[in-house]
Amino acid sequence: MERTIALAACLAMALALGWLGERGPAPRPADAAAETFSAVRAFEDIAVMAKAPHPLGTPANFAVRDHLVARMAAMDLSPRVVVARPFVARTYSGQTYVTGGRVENVIGVLPGRDPEAPALGLMAHYDSVPRSPGAADDAAGVAAALEIVRAFRARGQPERDVVLIMTDGEEAGLLGARAFFQNDPLAGRIGFVINMEARGSAGRANMFETGPDNGPVIDLFVRTSPGSPSNALAVFAYEQMPNDTDFSIARDQGIPGLNYAFVGRQFDYHSPTSTVETLSARSVQDLGDQTLAAAVAIAYSDTLPGRGPNRVYSTTFAGHMLAYPAMVGWGVIAAAALLLILAGFQARKSGAPVRWLDAGQGILAGLYILVAVAVMLRFARRASGAGFGFLEQHLLLAQAARFEAVLVLLALGVVLLGAAALAKGGMRLTTALAPLAAAVGCQIFGGWDLAGLALGLVAAVIALAAFGRPAERSGAWVGLLASGLIAAVALQVLAPTTAFLVAWPVLLASGGAALSRLGERRPLGLRLVLILLCGAGLGWLAGLAHAVFVSLDLVELLALTAWLAAFFLWPFAHPKIGGAGRVTALLVLGAGLALLGLMRADPPWSERYPRATLIYYLADQTAGEAYRIEAAPRLTDWSRQALNAPDGHIARLEAPPILSRQVWATPAPMLALPEPALELDAGGGRQVFSAAAPPAARILALEIRVTGEVADVRLNGQPAPLFATPDAWSRLWWTGDARPLEVSFTPIAQAGRLEVRYGAITERWPVGAAPLPPRPDEIMAFDTSDSLIVKGEKAFSW
């Protein structure tokens, strides 16, 4: 009972620390000191910008542009609107994909004392995705930039110019940032960039990206940060991912900087629910405090941070941050090893020597926890009823707190089961069946899942090897911590900036092991110290685990934090030989499974968390056929009503080039609708293909190919890698541009053929079509839903 109470105290402390760490600062009022950041003041701009969805090229976006111009003019920033038609081209498997459009960046400058010094760029994007007011992404970032400049004006003139870079078209492919850093005359003067983003409507502001050789930049960040949850692991992980923000464009041009975003309540990301009302004022305050601190350090310094070896850094406790050179990691590992050796010697003096066999079982128990938790959480993800994909994940995002609780309970249950099995012995069958049952569940709920099956089998094999005989607590704890040391050494060799993730918990837990002689000393004061160490370590891990949970739909990664948590839980979770810990473990696992069952039985859809629908009227102008289609992954009762199938039959249909996957479809009357203006001017030997979207259509998608080889291919006069592979389709997605786009090329052969597949989206329901039924409160139109799509094919010869 005593150890159960201590275990509960550790978990309660960890929960409290995790909650406090994620809470963020209280918003400052409008009358806060002028040189500080006030979320209430920033919300005044957010309320104006997030009145309505304002995607690229819409009247609502032009209204936001005008607001920014007026706000910058009022602060004497000499704003200018820069119009451009940028594009980006990428080639995959011989096919070229081009994304572009017309953007209007808004640029302003707060003059510094030294106009020749490299300038500080404050960057955010002011466009939103369709149907989302974009209060968080990225009206919050734009408002934060404006509030920072206002604070600068109150502080006095900075040492260097501060350039506000309010980009357009970020959501359409980072277009505004590309236009600025590739063509704007001010781009060459930018010496440091601070970018502000959001993914969701709440959460702590995390600095998640820098550039290469970031040592001096991280030193500045750690020195000035008012308490960030950021760490070197977040930066390393983001570097491995394909994700991009506007900061990516500056980084690729060698400009150093810091990229910030708050992440949380991701149901609101790119959603109609991203409103002023759902946006967390604490998150805006946190974003402002973090970025203002860094911006002040840059703008009011006569030097910029240079380049140096990447550094290890992380938050610790109470907002404190620690940073050190990567080589110091070897010292951390050595200190942990010395403490663990000391703990072994002290336990031996206490009459509880560490047996090698017990230590080996401890290593295996740690591996069991790592693999069994991974398969258990994989099962939970598949059994949740949510598919994989952005819209599919909405089912989980609408009940994120419940799902996170499920994962915590299942992971904790496996840790307790492993500790109880090692103490009792003879629990091979129970510990092997648990991951095997999870592996079978993966197959039942997710279809054939080789990875889930492999994880279950590996965990079962480890269980058969580890849990045949009982092991003493002291020896098992040493083995568990020794496995952490081995992992820390491997990370220190392979990815030294991430080794702290394992080395710090091993160091702290080894300190507790040395103080308690591997859990054998039992004075009250020492037990309280051990509880505090355990609670602090678990609280730090809770922050890391929550960051992984909200950032990635990869629940298996949380097995790593469960394994690390076992370092701290072991002296309380491992009962005496023959003790009764199995019941507690099974109760915790049962609670997790019961909550998972509740999730499946109680759908979360409500007015606050409505279900997404993507309804379109599709007209195939070549085939002379029309359809009502639903592009959401699952049909709702409302969708079935909207599709209006006279015989109840709803078919599956493909609709390239606009929609890349199968959709639900029912026939509809064909309407007389304008087509895109497509022309090929074959005069003078050089071919010029022009394409303009139909009137009122904002998005034009093209798939084009030519027969034979061509040379000197250009898009709107700029070189473009179209037609890189003969007879292969090149794909273009163009947004917010009333002017025609032009593709010109010189054919090698005298005669040839150009084939075109087109699609265009007009974001309104077509006149003459039967109207859609009214939506209930728990159903929402998402992205470009309720729009007209026209598609067709044409061919030209020369």
Task: Give 678-709 as a DSSP string.
Answer: EEEE-TTS-EEEEEEPPTT--EEEEEEEESS-
pLDDT of residue 523: 75
What is the model's pLDDT at position 646?
63
Predicted pLDDT at 93: 77
pLDDT digits (tens, 9 = 90+) for 688-718: 999 999 999 999 999 999 988 889 999 999 9
Q: What is the mean pLDDT of the chain?
A: 93
Is the pLDDT score of 197 beyond 70?
yes
Distances (CA, A) of 777 to 132, 447, 780: 16, 33, 7
CA 587 to CA 564: how far, in whole Å? 22
| pLDDT over 70 (residue 647) | no
pLDDT digits (tens, 9 = 90+) for 607-644: 999 999 999 999 999 999 999 999 999 999 999 999 98
Structure tokens at 617: 């009227």
Give the residue-averaged pLDDT of 212-232. Answer: 92
**The pLDDT value given to residue 578:** 40
**pLDDT tens for residues 425-468?**
878 899 999 999 999 999 999 899 999 999 999 999 999 999 99
Indicate whether 509 pLDDT > 60. yes
Positions of E strands within 488-614: 611-613
Residue with tokens 């203002």: 292
Q: What pLDDT score was predicted for residue 684? A: 65
The pLDDT > 90 percentage for the chain reads 81
**Where residue 257 falls among pLDDT bands split at 50, 70, 90?**
very high
Q: From residue 227, how far is each of 206, 289, 461 by CA, in Å?
A: 10, 9, 44
pLDDT reported for residue 522: 67
pLDDT tens, position by position, 278-330: 999 999 999 999 999 999 999 999 999 999 999 999 998 777 899 999 999 99
> Residue 1 pLDDT > 70, yes or no?
no
Residues 6+ apart with CB under 8 A from 541: 14, 505, 561, 564, 565, 568
- Confidence at residue 579, expressed as pLDDT on a 0 to 100 scale: 45
pLDDT for residue 518: 82
Separation between Cα atoms, residue 716 and residue 738, nearest integer Å: 14
Residues 6 or more apart whose CB falls under 8 angstroms from that of 408 comprise 592
3-state SS assignment for residue 591: helix
pLDDT at 577 over 50: no
Model pLDDT for residues 659-675, shown as the tens digit of each residue: 878 899 999 999 999 99
Contacts of 580 (CB under 8 A, 6+ apart): 420
Higher pLDDT, 598 or 425: 598
